[in-house]
Amino acid sequence: MITVPEGFGEGLGDGAPAWVATLPRLATKACSRWRLTPDGPLMNGFCAVVLPVRRADGHPAVLKLTWVDRETEHEPLALRTYDGNGAVQLLDHDEELGALLLERLDHTHSLLDEPIETAVGVIGSLLRRHRHLEAPPGIHRFESHVADHPAVPRALLDAAREVATRPMGTTLVNADLHYENVLRGDREPWLMIDPKPLSGDRERCVLPLLWNRFEEMDGPKGLTARFLALCDAGELDVAKSRDWTLYRAVTNWIWCLEEDMRDQAVICAEIARWAARP
């Protein structure tokens, strides 16, 4: 019923090729189980495919089949916790198939297409709405992993490790909140998708909002302006946000170097050095 795009699944890990080969069968089973009719071309991201469908009552939805790993395994639990409040509505979930039936949004229109002032305001409103959501039992607790790397100064490595030793909250945090993961909806103007949930501090979410659309900022002054705008819009603690931005910039810098993502590594290095300044 579906044709998986060539190359999809590369880089996902052991077992991914076998899982990718089963996707047509999984989609067929999910459509049969939920009485769905395909309603558009298959789409894919890095770790999931999404098929527009119609339910038996004619309402539009999407069928999402996700590679389940530590980052994605609790997406259904997070979506149930958000319960449609600023987030895409989870209509059903089949753990055996790794399938999610979701409210359909406009995938052609994200906050990436909006002026940055609008995008920051929308993100801030979501952060405020979710600030009192406790991470439910089962959501992974943040764990620190800061490896040594010869390209990263020792002072920055030590500073990042120190941040991770501090007491943390237990808020439900979307570790992958960024502009492209907030789409136009009908039920609400903007809704978040693809949460990568953690239990921790809300301020941990800032880095992707600096890394993405980085080219629109005018050097350190522009970086400071966006950072402060995000903290203000989301009612985030400025010092804590800066500390977590340093931590994540350092760890992402190392990851980008290991994955040979040189351009992204340069961005992370610049953000890490900015965050470490007095």
* Residues labelled catalytic: 176
3-state secondary structure 100-154: EEEECCEEEEEHHHCCHHHHHHHHHHHHHHCCCCECCCCCCECCCCCCCCCCCCH
- Residue 207: CA atoms inside 13 Å, Cβ hemisphere, count? 26
At 246, list the tokens: 């340093």
- Residue 139: CA atoms inside 13 Å, Cβ hemisphere, count? 25
Q: Residue 111 and residue 109: Cα distance in Å, rounded? A: 7
Q: Which residues contact 88 (CB under 8 A, 6 or more apart)?
A: 79, 102, 103, 105, 183, 185, 191, 192, 193
Three-state DSSP state, 229: helix
Q: Name the β-bridge partners of 94.
A: 99
At 203, list the tokens: 């301020």
